[in-house]
Structure 1
Amino acid sequence: MLPPRRFLPSFSLLAAFEAAARTGSVTAAANELGLTQSAVSRQISALEKQLGVALFLRERQTIRLTLAGDGYAREVREALRRISNASLNLKANPSGGTLNLAILPFFGTRWLTPRIAHFLEAHPGLVVNLITRLEPFDFRFDTLDAAIHFGVARWPGAALTFLMDETVLPVCSPQFKARHEIQGAEDVLKAPLLHLNTRPDAWELWFSQNRVAFDTLHGMLFDQFMPMVEAASAGLGAALLPRFLIDRELEHGLLVPAVEGRAMETGQYYLAYPPDRATYPPLAAFRDWILQEIQADRLANGNRIGQ
């Protein structure tokens, strides 16, 4: 149910306000919108009258947002952006449907993207837009329909569908392993370590699990898996990496297990989405498909996906 009409200003009034707020000038806003200065001024005044709130301070030939106007401008700009994106999606795919999906960079690059063609073949006309996001966000203020989430099952306001567990292996380049004479977990402690800043205690947990005493752990810090994989392949250190995302490096011998049989579970992957979008056809189709893909991987790998 929409709010009363007085709280729904016309698009032309909002567009004039947003342009003037963003440019800080009625003249610039008028040029951008193809209107006269007086027309933009009248639209802003009409909006202020409708809302009953002053949005700008007028100082000689300049305008400046009030405190209330500044907050309103941010929300109006986001609303106009969402309307624009919805229109672009509709224009790009008028007969199918669009799924805007947030992905984790390495998971998206290594696991999801190579498979997404199968999903699109099975659902002709459907468009999937992939947007990189590293942290949870509020679906209420975003245009995304769903997101791939890693960690504990906690995303305020979102429904979560479990996808799979993640198991990491301690890996390094063959040359690095030989140079540091790594044969057991104790030897890994003496070698340079690579850390991921979103999982800062991963090595501590691994050494504790393998009953290796340690004080403090130092080494290079990375914000994403991809550069850490490259650094480990280049012999810069040992890294804890998801087994199912480094098949390429293991297959070509760029990386080898630093210590055999010492994998560790670190968390879970989930599909997160707003509860009221659970039955949205493109999302429902994607949710069914990705669960089937994961199950197929489990069967193909002896029920050991992620290991």
Structure 2
Amino acid sequence: MRRRLPTLQALQCFEAAARHQSFTRAAQELALTQGAVSRQVAALEDFLGVPLFRRTRHGMVLTPAGADYARQVRQRLDALERDTADVMGRGGVGDSLTLAAVPTFATRWLIPRLPRLAARHPQLQIHLETCTRPFMFTDTGIDAALWAGTPQQVQQWAGTTATHLMDEDVLPVCSPRLLPQRQPVTPQGLVQLPLLQQSTRPEAWRDWFEAQGVQAPRAMAGPRYELFSMQVAAAIAGLGVALMPTLLVQQELSSGALVVACPRPLQARRAYYLVQPQGPERAALTVFKAWLAAVARDAPGAVQVPPGAV
């Protein structure tokens, strides 16, 4: 059956015009005349039967339908561009996967292990994007996501299945100069120190203090950071104590840039999962998932505190 689709040039002209809110700047970007861009957008509107722009005294603006369509078209064009570059780069040899991952886990745990994957499967290329929250796989070109969350959160991720990789332990860490006499403190002593907060886990410190049986009225107070890597940098700078997954700060603990502020690890409510859309599984994902599960099983125990870190 013939697909009912507008031309690629019409979509490119519309996306550029929507992004710039200007036919003139879209024409400059695409090396076309303003009239050519205008005609392509008009043809697209005729094809859709929907106005995408409306003119005002100050120029032109997207209609609500145009704004929504522009977002969808931009995602599809970006994915098509990535797929094209991928095929060109591989020269038709091998396969690839596009994975979304929580950033710090990707940089500190996954990427250092990818050379082992490359040695076993040299024809498999891994492309990485960042994600911190669930998303709809149908809106992206992403094959799977490496994500940290609670079992309940994973179950609520619509249209997906998840493979458990490893549980997560968290531990208070900080710069050694933040501690009195550079010695670890008790949970009660930690109440007096500035606490760094993770914006995606606002109750993490409260849970930790409750597990220690300590009253901490200001457990949720303190500067907030979206990424664990930001928290690591803030902790090294001496801004406060970070409650970090132990597997993400082994390098800093080994080097002495961070020390354990209180040697009371806690198994967090969260774990790491490989999340994928429901439905048939690509052979490349099957290979990657088997390798990842084996690496996760062989990973060191959740709590690794190097000698001298406390």
Return the TM-score normalized by structure 1: 0.84
Q: 1:80 Cα shift?
A: 2.0
Which stretch of structure 1 is more off in the superposition, 182-191 or 200-209? Answer: 182-191
Q: Which deviates more, 212-221 or 137-146?
A: 212-221
Q: Does 1:292 align with 2:294?
A: yes
| Distance apart, 1:168 and its partner CA | 0.8
Please say which of residues 215-224 and 122-131 is displaced more in the overlay.
215-224
RMSD: 2.8
5 Å-filtered alignment, 1:214-229, equals 214-217=216-219, 218-229=221-232
Q: Which runs of 5+ in 2 are unaligned?
A: 305-310
Q: Distance in 1 between matches of 2:70 and 2:185?
A: 61
Residue 55 (1) aligns with residue 89 (2): no
- CA distance change for structure 1 residues 221 and 18 in 2, over 3 Å: closer, same or farther? closer
Q: Provide the residue aligned with 1:241 in structure 2.
A: 244
SS class of match (1:219)? coil
Matching residue's letter, 1:81: D
Separation in structure 2 between the aligned mates of residue 20 and residue 35 of structure 1, nearest angstrom: 12
Unaligned runs of 5+ in 1: none
Aligned partners of 2:118 and 2:124 also within 8 Å: yes
Q: CA deviation at 1:245?
A: 1.9
Instruction: Work out the CA distance in 1 between the residues paired with 2:198 and 2:56.
Output: 51
Matching residue of 2:307: none
Once residues 191 and 92 of structure 1 are traced to their aligned partners in structure 2, the CA distance between those partners, rounded to angstroms, is: 51
Amino acid at match of 1:187: G
Which string of whole-angstrom CA distances, capped at 9 and with x for unpartnered residues, describes residues 70-125 of structure 1?
33233223222221221111111221112111122221121111111111121112
Letter in 1 for 2:44: L
Closer, same or farther in 2 for the Cα pair 1:230/1:145, shift >3 Å?
same
One-letter amino acid matched to 1:71: D
Aligned letter for 1:106?
A: T
- Check if 1:254 corresponds to 2:291: no
The answer (yes or no) to whether the contact 1:106–1:226 under 8 Å persists in 2 is: yes
Say which one has the larger Rg. Answer: 1
Runs of 4+ in 1 over 6 A off after TM superposition: none
Question: Counterpart of 1:271?
Answer: 274
Compared CA separation, residues 183 and 281, structure 1 to 2 (3 A) = same
Number of the residue aligned with 1:164: 166
Equivalent residue for 1:148, pick from 105, 122, 146: 146
Structure 1 residues 85 and 183, CA gap change in structure 2 (3 angstroms): closer
> Cα distance 1:188–1:55, how it changes in 2: closer, same or farther (>3 A)?
closer
Report the TM-score, using the length of structure 2 for normalisation.
0.83
Count residues with an aligned counterpart.
297
Q: 2:66 is matched by which residue type in structure 1?
A: G
Q: Is the 8 A contact 1:54 1:66 kept in 2?
A: yes
1:287 alignment partner AA: K
Contact 2:236 2:258 in 1 (8 A): yes
